[in-house]
Structure 1
Amino acid sequence: MRRTTLIATGMAAALLVASPIAWRAYADGAPRLAEKTEAKGDPLAYDLSKVSKEGLTAMRSVYMARVALNDGDYDAAKQNLKAASDALGQVRMDNPSVDVKEDVKVGDKVVSTTKEHVQVDLVPISSQYRIVEDFSANPEKSEHIAKAHEHLKKGDTQAAISELKLVDTGVVFERIDMPLTATKQHVDTAIGLLNDGKYHDANLALKAAADGLQYHTISMVAPVKAPNPSSKS
Structure 2
Amino acid sequence: MGVKRLHRNLLLAAWLWSLLAVQVHSCPDACIKCSGPENGRCEECRAGWILHNNTCVDIDECGTELGNCSPNSYCFNTEGSFECRGCDAGCVGCMGSGPARCRKCASGYRLTGFKCLDIDECGDRVLACHGLDEICTNTEGSFRCDCGEGFIRKDSVCVKKQLASAQEKGLFEDIQDEEVEVLQQMFFGVVLCALATLAAKGDMVYTSVFMGAVAAMAGYWLSDRGDRLIDSFLKGR
Q: TM-score range by the shorter chain?
A: under 0.3
Please identify the structure whose Cα radius of gyration is greater.
2
TM-score (norm 2): 0.19
**Which structure carries more relative contact order (alpha carbon 8 Å, separation 6+)?**
1
